[in-house]
């Protein structure tokens, strides 16, 4: 089952079968990241698998996607600030170098990160961080998932 939804994350989200989905937002899906070596890592997936870049969206939907990215980033920031006193900031990234669909990465950053990682892109973390079982998304992240989801709900209801 894991391979099915991972090979088409957006299609699976649209069908309600992507287990990483936290909430559907105006222009996409807020999902928690597959790896959690930086707890709270989340991704915003566009809700149309054929959209490859931000400029593929009509301007109103483009602005909705960016607003969704802002909301997800703020939700992650609120949760991480509350749960870890070493929280520093959130990095927001739209890269588009690997996956052929529009998505934005929401990376919380912490004071406890290794000194050689602070101030550098997350992508420069050692390869083991991306594949180590201890960082794999699992039931141990349920409280984190719920907290981010609740923050998204609060932000959505705030004018």
Average pLDDT, the chain: 93
pLDDT at 3: 56
pLDDT at 1 over 60: no
Decide if 142 contacts 134 (C-beta within 8 A): no
pLDDT at 108: 98
Interatomic CA distance for residues 61 and 54, integer angstroms: 9
Interatomic CA distance for residues 87 and 84, integer angstroms: 6
The dihedral over CA atoms of 98, 100, 104, 108, expressed in degrees to the nearest 10, equals -30
Q: Which residue has the higher pLDDT, 127 or 31?
A: 31
- Tell me the residue range of the domain where 45 lies: 2-157
Domains of the chain: total: 1
CATH at residue 148 = 3.30.428.10
Decide if 51 contacts 101 (C-beta within 8 A): yes
């Amino acid at each position: 089952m894991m391979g099915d939804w991972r090979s088409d994350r957006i299609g699976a989200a649209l069908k309600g079968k992507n287990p990483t989905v936290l909430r559907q937002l105006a222009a996409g899906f807020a999902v928690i990241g597959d790896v959690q070596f930086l707890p709270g890592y989340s991704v915003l997936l566009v809700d149309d698998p054929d959209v490859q870049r931000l400029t593929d969206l009509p301007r109103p939907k483009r602005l909705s996607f960016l607003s969704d990215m802002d909301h997800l980033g703020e939700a992650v920031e609120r949760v991480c600030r509350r749960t870890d006193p070493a929280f520093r900031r959130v990095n927001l990234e739209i890269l588009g170098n690997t996956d052929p669909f529009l998505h934005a990465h929401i990376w919380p950053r912490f004071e406890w990160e290794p000194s050689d990682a602070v101030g550098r892109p997350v992508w420069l973390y050692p390869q083991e961080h991306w594949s180590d079982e201890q960082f794999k998304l699992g039931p141990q992240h349920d409280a984190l998932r719920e907290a981010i989801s609740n923050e998204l709900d609060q932000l959505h209801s705030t004018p």
